[in-house]
A and B are shown apart, each in its own frame.
Chain A
Amino acid sequence: MARMKFLCDAERCIECNGCVTACKQEHDIPWGVNRRRVVTINDGVPGERSISVACMHCSDAPCMAVCPVDCFYRTDDGVVLHDKDLCIGCGYCFYACPFGAPQFPQAGAFGVRGKMDKCTFCAGGPEPNNSEAEFKKYGRNRLAEGKLPACAEMCSTKALIGGDGDVLAEIYRTRVTSRGRGAEVWGWATAYGRPDAQKQPGAAPAPASPATPPGGGSKS
């Protein structure tokens, strides 16, 4: 049984936001809701990296653990979904999620918080497959059509890939061994800066060190 996952190759992502657009278009997502977004680290600095982030469909999902009405479930393929008829829009899942995946549409004119909306891995929700009710509540069910998520299939550089986790790992391994680098760009060190990378010429100065004027000393 496949275990569906996303993987974003930070060496390849060019921050085009094509995945975000594809998601919005595919599911007719309302204004203000972003099931997927592109995050750039060290924006504007040489060596910046971007990754596309959405629900990661965690194996041990914190949203599922904290939901007071237990509206979350996991499919046989490892996709984390939820029942919008049961969701009370409390926002606990948003606090629990380390990726900020749960979104809350403004249901009324005065910004009333609606029911939670998130990436479904293009797998719809607890309504008949490809029905109008499913599309309205959860978006299109591409998995039932034998397709992978629109964001991944739309990605022009194939930075974002989605599908069976084992296959994705194999694809990524092939890439890293073929190009001879890139395994280190994904993870903690990239997000929070490696000490050796900061010493390299052209790298961004450490945020803690104050910039000194070209002339040298400071005014007293």
Chain B
Amino acid sequence: MIRRAIVTLAAAAIAATLGAGLAGCGERPQVVQYKQGKYQGKPDQPAYATAPWNGNKQEWEQALATRNQAQNEYKRIR
């Protein structure tokens, strides 16, 4: 009776070991799955997202527009 139980336990242990071993041999995909024609990289923050703009797009655009006009010396010197 005891011997039969031991054999059953041993068989179960061997089956579990084999199962775990087989699972270890399994292969999971290790490359990125590309979608043709679509950006696959990390998302980027808008330039005005962080300090000193903190999401204030209008203020940021105004700052850039001022810099843009500073390149026009015809306007700057008149």
Contact = CB atoms under 8 A, between A and B. Distances in A.
A70 B35 contact: yes
A158 B73 contact: yes
Nearest to A146: B63
Contacts of A130: 50
Interface string B45-72: 1111110110000001101110111011
B68 A167 contact: yes
Contacts, number: 99
A152 B39 contact: no
**Of B41, B43, B67, B73, which is in contact with the most chain A CB atoms at under 10 Å from its CB?**
B41
Contacts of B36: 70
Given A69-B40, A71-B39, A86-B40, A148 B64 contact: yes
A208 B45 CA distance: 53
A129 B51 CA distance: 9
B63 to A, nearest CB: 4
* Interface range on chain A (Cβ under 8 Å from partner): 35 or more
Nearest first, the 9 A-B pairs at minimum CB distance are: A83-B41, A146-B63, A163-B68, A126-B42, A143-B47, A126-B44, A129-B50, A73-B39, A144-B47
21 contacts: A69-B32, A70-B35, A70-B37, A70-B39, A70-B40, A72-B39, A73-B44, A83-B39, A85-B41, A127-B44, A129-B50, A147-B67, A148-B67, A153-B67, A163-B64, A163-B71, A164-B64, A167-B65, A167-B69, A168-B68, A170-B72
Interface of A: 2, 69-73, 75-77, 81-83, 85-86, 123-130, 141, 143-144, 146-148, 152-153, 158, 161-164, 167-168, 170-171, 174-175, 178
Given A83-B39, A164-B65, 15 more contacts: A2-B64, A70-B41, A71-B39, A71-B40, A71-B41, A73-B39, A73-B41, A77-B47, A83-B40, A85-B41, A127-B44, A128-B50, A146-B60, A146-B67, A153-B71
